Structure 1
Amino acid sequence: MEPDSLPTEVILTHPRQFLGKVCLDWMPQPGNYLELKGKTYAVLERHHHYQYKIGGYSLHKISLYVQSAKSPAEKSLIDGRWVVGDASCRFNAKSELLRCAVNPEGPCKGCRFYELLSK
């Protein structure tokens, strides 16, 4: 194991299924996408597991709870994080998981509900 890699368990939420263990060199956040064994998953939850060693606790492993997903083709960068869809639309949810209420499946391009966000 590399010094900066995180031992990570990947668990499918529904139906509950252990997908495997991987070592990641980045800290996955809910809303991020993860490629594993040729499939794409959306990260829903992240749990930290600590282990006591002399001198205190240290991060031992991470569990990721995921669901099957398609990596979104449309993304916008807002305040340093990626959200699904066109963030210039009034109806965009500004979320990593949900595009919007009126057209959640997308695409944003050509959507009849598109309204430019007023500042």
Structure 2
Amino acid sequence: MEPSLSTEVILTHPRQSLGNVQFDWTPQPGNYLDLQGKTYAVLERRHKYQLKAGRYRLQNIALYVQSAKRPSEKSLVNGRWVVGDATCCYNANSEIIRCAVNPEGPCDSCRFYEELKVS
């Protein structure tokens, strides 16, 4: 098995490289990672390829991240984890954003909670 490729971690705002990291897992958008004592949400994952001897080879991986707190509330929706209580009609069904009316949460005491109506 080939050794894993180093991944550059890039903070989106202010735009700066946080360095190159060897991961023993494959961070995807919506995942959280801890780096240098801080927690980041993965927003985007990009791959760069190079044509060499008639074949494309993976040359570089970049993760674009933003500072974040790990959410304490998560719901499993169609096989993926989303932030907050997915039974609320205001839930964004996103790995990164909880909702528009109470983005910081928590859901359990939110005065805007309204049960999602399933038709």
TM above 0.5: yes
Structure 1 match to 2:112: 113
Which range moved further: 19-28 or 86-95? 19-28
| Structure 2 residue 89 is matched with structure 1 residue 90 | yes
Structure 2 SS opposite 1:51: strand
**TM score, norm. by length of structure 2:** 0.90
Structure 2 match to 1:76: 75
CA contact (8 A) 1:7 1:60 kept: no
Q: CA deviation at 1:55?
A: 4.0
Structure 2 match to 1:99: 98
Unaligned runs of 5+ in 1: none
Superposition RMSD in Å: 1.5
Which range moved further: 17-26 or 7-16? 17-26
- AA aligned to 1:77 is L
State how far apart, in whole Å, the 2-side matches of 1:118 and 1:6 are: 45
Q: CA deviation at 1:29?
A: 1.9
Unaligned runs of 5+ in 2: none
Q: CA deviation at 1:72?
A: 0.7
State how far apart, in whole Å, the 2-side matches of 1:43 and 1:51 are: 24
Structure 2 SS opposite 1:6: coil
**TM score, norm. by length of structure 1:** 0.90
